[in-house]
Amino acid sequence: MPDSPDRIFLFDTTLRDGEQSPGATMSLSEKIRMAQQLELLGVDIIEAGFAASSAGDFECVSTVAREIGNSSVASLCRTVIADIDKAAEALRHARKPRLHVFIATSALHMDYKLKLSPEEVLKATDTSVRHAVSCVRDVEFSCEDASRTDLDFMVEVCRTAIAAGAKTLNIPDTVGYAQPEEFAARIAYLKARIPGDIIISVHCHNDLGLAVANTLAAFRAGARQAEVTIGGIGERAGNCALEELVMNLTVRKAYYHLEHGISTQQIFPSMRTLSRIIGRPIPVNKPVVGANAFAHEAGIHQAGVLANPSTYEIMTPESIGLPGNNIVVGKHSGKNAIKSKLEGMGYHLESAQIDLILSAVKDLADKKKDIFDEDLEALVLEEIYRLPDKYKLLHLAVQSADSGIPPCAMLVLEIDGVKREHAQFGVGPIDAVFRGISVAVRHSPKLEQYAVNAITGGTDALGEVTVRISEQDKTAIGRGSHPDIINASARAYINALNRLVKMQEEK
Ligand code: KIV
Ligand code: ZN
């Protein structure tokens, strides 16, 4: 890593803390796709999971470690030797591995959660960090609930971690309780009491909406690493949003005097990739990436922007990679054109996968005149990055309500490789489709959310449907895209069912 004092490092935890956001579970292939996009974006460190927490997390950390070359890859671990060994094993093939060891240090957490005395926490810090450093050179240590920890005890724990070999100290505002000036004072207090070559990191939660403000205040006080997620997803109200933090540093560079390694043009593609993967639309009023961020409704604003965009725009849509309506491929595009277009978008696919996309593009081009970047991306996620399916939709025909006959869905599904036909009436066509699928697969989850979104403009736009379903204590999100909204709905419902059964099997 460059060691200029004015360079800050971005530690992305979308795949770990972000995945703890309710309903944001990702499959292994989706996490790999997200990690590749994060690397393209230029994050310095990717926290790929908590290797010891489950077989799925272990597999994810080890696969991301193998696939990613430029960014460091980190695994979270408790101050437990077995956790550290598991994480080190998962990171065996990483070109730049990092172990991220944490223990809670506030009196509240030590007394009620850990049931450990301060001396025992110091001992656990020393023993575990020493062990971690013997496995992997790059070790980060976190004091969980640091913002509610006695200041001098926090410094003592941090010094213990440094003496044991940690090179980065992370100060989390675990419950989003800190206020900017107070948090900055905590960082300055620590910085004055540790060697200058140790990097102070911060990890701010957004419970009071201050995660970005607290992180920026910490930078002003000397922190040089921030833990962030795309779109600010994460536990409860989420984490510090990468795009907001980076655009503050970029737009107000003269104020902060800090460099970062992010390619800002990859911000919007990263947000879009995450949104597609977790099946959550980008809120329209979200800073930087929301649909309204560059929309000017009021006449007086429009006149100003036309005369000179800086009247009301402090950054350009291009600077965050917001796409124009560029037609990318069509019916007559060959394999090479699709391959190079996909590579430009960050998808490095194998030859057989490009063939699949090529054939999907040709199918789509029969139904839709213009195919945009967003359409192509939706096809890739649909064809390449979906889960190995237990349930598949083979055919669907829907009869709308007609002279007293209720709407009816006729479905052909494949269930564990066996073909199954079913017909079902419903209150409306979507109801008939969902009921029909539920009966055929013998699951009747509660439908909690159903959302339709046109990926691009025009009546021939590819429709994207997102559904959220729950059964017992599990919730799953599914996504489907197709020019026919009813077909997209069926795909989204089946995708959610596939995720739900996978979660139930993993229980
Ligand atoms: O919020 C938190 O304290 C964390 C730590 C494990 C870094 O996520
Ligand atoms: Zn956290």
- Residue 9 CB less than 6 A away from ligand 1: no
Instruction: Name the closest ligand to CA 113.
Output: 1
Residue 388: predicted pLDDT: 67
Distance CA 46, CA 236 (A): 21
Angle between helices 429-441 and 485-506 (to 10 degrees): 30
Instruction: Name the closest ligand to CA 172.
Output: 1
Are 49 and 76 a contacting pair, CB within 8 Å?
Answer: yes
Q: How far is the CA of 151 from the centre of ligand 1 (A)?
A: 18
The protein residue with its alpha carbon nearest to ligand 1, atom 5, reads 144
Residue 116: predicted pLDDT: 98
Q: How far is the CA of 333 from the centre of ligand 2 (A)?
A: 45
Q: Average pLDDT by consecutive 10-residue portion of the chain (507 residues)?
A: 73 96 84 95 98 96 97 98 98 98 98 98 98 98 98 98 98 98 98 98 98 98 98 97 98 96 96 85 89 75 78 90 69 85 80 92 84 82 76 92 85 94 94 96 92 74 84 84 91 90 72
Residue 182: predicted pLDDT: 98
Are 162 and 169 a contacting pair, CB within 8 Å?
Answer: yes
- Residue 102 CB less than 6 A away from ligand 1: yes
- Residue 468 CB less than 6 A away from ligand 1: no
CA-based nearest residue to 444, from 414, 464, 424: 424
Residue 371: predicted pLDDT: 82
- Residue 17 CB less than 6 A away from ligand 1: yes
Residue 2: predicted pLDDT: 46
- Residue 203 CB less than 6 A away from ligand 1: yes
Distance CA 271, CA 468 (A): 20
Q: 3-state SS string over 225-245? A: EEEEEHHHCCCCCCECEHHHH
For residue 16, give the ligand 1 atom closest to its CA.
8
Q: How far is the CA of 147 from the centre of ligand 1 (A)?
A: 11
- H helices of 295-407, in order, are 299-307, 335-344, 351-367, 373-383
Residue 376: predicted pLDDT: 85
- CATH number for the domain whose boundaries are 391-506: 3.30.160.270
- Residue 172 CB less than 6 A away from ligand 1: yes
Task: Select from 142, 175, 227 the residue to mutate for testing ligand 1; criterion: most ligand atoms less than 8 Å from CB.
Answer: 142
Residues 6+ apart with CB under 8 A from 182: none
Sheet holding 418-425, edge to edge: 391-399, 408-415, 418-425
Which residue pairs, CB below 8 angstroms and at least 24 apart, start in 59-62? 59/28, 60/15, 60/28, 60/31, 60/32, 61/87, 61/90, 61/91, 62/89, 62/90, 62/91, 62/92, 62/93
Residues 6+ apart with CB under 8 A from 303: none
User: 3-state class of 317 per DSSP?
Assistant: coil
Q: How far is the CA of 205 from the centre of ligand 2 (A)?
A: 6
Q: How far is the CA of 239 from the centre of ligand 2 (A)?
A: 7
- CATH number for the domain whose boundaries are 9-278: 3.20.20.70
Which residues are bridge partners to 77 per DSSP?
101
The protein residue with its alpha carbon nearest to ligand 1, atom 2, reads 174
Distance CA 479, CA 489 (A): 8
Residues, Cβ < 5 Å to ion ligand 2: 17
